[in-house]
Amino acid sequence: MLFGLAVVALLLGCPALSPGAAAPRLVADQPWFVPRFDSLATPVKREIERYSNLPEYEASRRDPRFEIRRWRYRSDSLTVVAYAYRRKPGFGEKKPVRRPAVIYCRGSYRQDGLSPAAMPILHRLGEAGFFAVAPQYRGSEGGEGRDEMGGADVRDVTALVELLARDPGVDPRAIYLYGESRGGMMAYQAARDGARVRAIATVGAFTDLDTLLAHDPVSAAAARQIWPDWASREKEIEERRSAIRWVEKIRVPTLVLLGRHDSRVSSTDGERFVSALRAHRTPAELHVIEDAGHVIGERSTLRDSLIVDWFRRWKP
């Protein structure tokens, strides 16, 4: 369920701060000891199995080449959480390397305890040579604030772009956004708001909230709980989160991946969006994956390889 309440420009440098926004900073950088698969609760195991399997999960948490960190960082006036997956300094290298970075924007709404599910995805990105970071958004995994599902919480993504651009282990010319479902919607907003990333890729991301709610009764029912002021702000909420309405503001190369059997976002929606991007001279591609549903978890290895190839195509 996209809105499930329980489980659910090639410029360089840093994006401009919005009026009144505080510069982001790292508050804490600590090792994160990812639990063994057999110690996880059943819902977490099921979430992992949507994308991966036990051997791959165990490899992602035990690979000696990488370290996994739990970050707490400032986003506006709040302290929020992200998980960073990076190659250990000097491991197999003769000199320090500035790596490209990927910000993996997960889907769903508020979450607590489901972060281990991202490990296989982050491991794939790490093996491909990227420094991968997964923001958890405000209100989740111990972060302060309230998840607005694409409101002020978009700042939690753009703040990471700024932090990574200042990281001595990151190539500031090569920062990318990978958004899944709701995270794709936030990646589009981040690009609209001036996040200076090299390219973006989305999986199962809606581009018109009004169309989504009209065709997905479960998400429509959840909307009033996610946005308590829905009745008075419906049009404003839809406008902000519907990339098709401001497609001309997305000026970075964009890859759109959809599952043929996605019951929420259709290939027709994807075709319309990619055509609009191209009409504004933004490089864009659409891939519809057969035998796959909403986030293409059934073919996640193919999904992630397409995304890695897209990012490499747009390297500095």
Instruction: Indicate whether 16 pLDDT > 60.
Output: no
Percent of the chain at pLDDT > 70 equals 91
Orientation angle between helical segments 54-62 and 119-127, nearest 10 degrees:
60
- The pLDDT of residue 222 is 85
- Rounded Cα gap, residues 281 and 294, in angstroms: 28
3-class SS of residue 56? helix
- The pLDDT of residue 18 is 46
Cα separations in angstroms, 61 against 114, 115, 194, 288: 15, 12, 34, 31
Residue 289 · residue 310 · CB < 8 Å? no
Instruction: Indicate whether 97 pLDDT > 60.
Output: yes
Lowest mean pLDDT among 69-78, 86-95, 263-272, 306-315: 86-95
3-class SS of residue 112? coil
Q: Which structure tokens are listed for 193?
A: 């708001």
- The pLDDT of residue 12 is 30
Instruction: Indicate whether 63 pLDDT > 90.
Output: yes
Residue 87 β-bridge partners: 66
Instruction: Indicate whether 214 pLDDT > 90.
Output: no
Amino acid sitting at position 9? A
Span 132-185, pLDDT tens digits: 999 999 999 999 999 999 999 999 999 999 999 999 999 999 999 999 999 999
Q: How far is CA 65 from the centre of its chain?
A: 24
What does 142-174 look like in DSSP terms, one character per residue? T--S---SSSGGGHHHHHHHHHHHT-TTEEEEE
What is the pTM (predicted TM-score) of this model?
0.92
More confident residue, 95 or 162: 162
Any idea what the Cα angle at residue 202 is, between residues 199 and 206, rounded to 5°? 130
Quote the mean pLDDT of the chain.
91
A 10 A CB-CB count for 97 gives 13
Question: pLDDT-derived band of residue 256, with 50, 70 and 90 as boundaries?
Answer: very high
Residue 137 · residue 76 · CB < 8 Å? no
Q: Which domains are seen in the chain, by residue range? A: 26-313 (3.40.50.1820)
